[in-house]
């Protein structure tokens, strides 16, 4: 039935009388009211516009900023996206993506690596630590673990400082022009180095270490009877002999006319006396270590050592 039909009860007025029939398509008006408000789709939802009155009114400078909300503050960075806001957890990463079985396997592997690292650090620590109960009982196991791949050439604590003075001395057998031989006195090479270092703001590396390291090299490669131990014994003898020849040539021991035929080296070791407040007692008697005579090759005797 048509809602605008004359006989329709829907068109009666509140007092029961029938109202006038309104034309179709026009707006319905009630007493004292304007057009019925409500959402409409299409172009009719906006205000009416007269085509002859010019362009439609609108913002003079682009879209209204209020229509899109406040601009983000650059000091606080961009606003969080939908994944970072409340109620949206971050995506899962790492081990949580694995299945429970693989998670257990990864945890076991990490535990094994951690235990192995702790054991290795403990073994290395014991290898450089001073002798103690653990190293005495399990020294073989510690050595098997550390050597040779993880050998450490340092100690956890400073060793006992050297309490000796070691002086290296040399003398030579010189052939004179008349064919005779002359044996020189002992020349203290360590004392010469000490005199060059004392008072020098920048002592040279040679003066400080050359002779000392050469003698340490010789002692480490020879036994108490001055016999070579290992393949580096002959090299250490040649090293000490050449240093002695250079020093003798520099000091003019051959007199400028003779030739050095042989050299002999010895060390003089004296103990450093302890302080007065110490109860320790050390003998002040020097200990000598005299090496055999070394024949000087012809090339070195003629000044071939540089």
Residue 61 covered by a domain: no
pTM of the model: 0.49
- Asked if residue 290 and residue 247 are part of one domain, the reply reads yes
Residue 82 covered by a domain: no
Per the structure, how many domains does the chain have?
2
Cβ atoms of residues 150 and 210 within 8 Å: no
Residue 49 covered by a domain: no
Q: Token digits for 168?
A: 């290296």
Q: Is the peptide bond before 148 cis (omega within 30 degrees of 0)?
A: yes
- Asked if residue 196 and residue 129 are part of one domain, the reply reads no
Residue 16 covered by a domain: no
- Asked if residue 261 and residue 129 are part of one domain, the reply reads no
- Asked if residue 122 and residue 218 are part of one domain, the reply reads no
Determine the structural domain holding residue 276 and report its residue range: 164-304
- Asked if residue 205 and residue 112 are part of one domain, the reply reads no
- Asked if residue 274 and residue 174 are part of one domain, the reply reads yes
Of 111, 146, 181, which residue constitutes the final position of a domain?
A: 146
Contacts for 269 with CB less than 8 Å, ≥ 6 apart? 164, 165, 166, 167, 286, 287, 288, 289
- Asked if residue 175 and residue 287 are part of one domain, the reply reads yes
Sign of CA dihedral 144, 150, 153, 156: negative
- Asked if residue 173 and residue 111 are part of one domain, the reply reads no
- Asked if residue 171 and residue 133 are part of one domain, the reply reads no
Residue 80 covered by a domain: no
- Asked if residue 294 and residue 175 are part of one domain, the reply reads yes
Per residue of the chain (306 residues), what is the pLDDT tens digit? 454 444 545 455 555 555 555 555 444 544 444 444 444 544 444 444 454 445 555 544 555 555 455 565 555 555 555 554 455 566 667 767 788 888 889 899 999 999 999 999 999 888 888 888 888 888 889 888 888 778 776 666 655 566 889 999 999 999 888 888 999 999 999 999 999 999 888 888 888 889 999 999 999 999 999 999 988 999 999 999 999 999 988 877 765 667 889 999 999 999 888 888 877 788 889 999 999 999 998 878 765 565
- Asked if residue 203 and residue 116 are part of one domain, the reply reads no
- Asked if residue 268 and residue 168 are part of one domain, the reply reads yes
Residue 270 covered by a domain: yes
Q: Token digits for 153?
A: 């050439």
């Amino acid at each position: 039935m048509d809602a605008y039909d004359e006989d329709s009860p829907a068109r009666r007025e509140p007092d029961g009388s029938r109202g006038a029939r309104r034309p179709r398509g026009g707006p319905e008006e009630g007493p004292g009211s304007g057009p019925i408000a409500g959402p409409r789709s299409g172009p009719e939802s906006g205000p009416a516009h007269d085509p002859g009155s010019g362009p439609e009114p609108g913002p003079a400078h682009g879209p209204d900023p209020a229509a899109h909300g406040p601009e983000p503050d650059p000091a606080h960075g961009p606003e969080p996206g939908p994944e970072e806001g409340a109620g949206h957890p971050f995506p899962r990463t790492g081990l949580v993506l694995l299945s429970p079985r693989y998670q257990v396997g990864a945890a076991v592997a990490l535990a094994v690596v951690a235990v192995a690292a702790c054991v290795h650090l403990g073994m290395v620590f014991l290898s450089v630590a001073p002798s103690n109960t653990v190293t005495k009982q399990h020294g073989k196991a510690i050595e098997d673990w550390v050597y040779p791949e993880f050998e450490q050439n340092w100690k956890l604590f400073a060793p006992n400082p050297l309490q000796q003075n070691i002086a290296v001395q040399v003398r030579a057998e010189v052939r004179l022009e008349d064919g005779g031989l002359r044996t020189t006195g002992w020349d203290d090479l360590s004392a010469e180095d000490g005199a060059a270092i004392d008072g020098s703001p920048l002592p040279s590396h040679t003066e400080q270490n050359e002779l000392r390291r050469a003698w340490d090299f010789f002692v480490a490669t020879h036994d108490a009877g001055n016999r070579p131990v290992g393949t580096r014994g002959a090299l250490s003898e040649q090293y000490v002999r050449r240093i002695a020849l250079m020093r003798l040539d520099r000091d003019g021991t051959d007199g400028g006319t003779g030739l050095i035929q042989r050299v002999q080296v010895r060390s003089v070791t004296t103990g450093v006396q302890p302080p007065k407040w110490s109860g320790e007692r050390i003998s002040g008697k020097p200990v000598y270590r005299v090496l055999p005579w070394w024949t000087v090759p012809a090339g070195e005797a003629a000044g071939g050592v540089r």
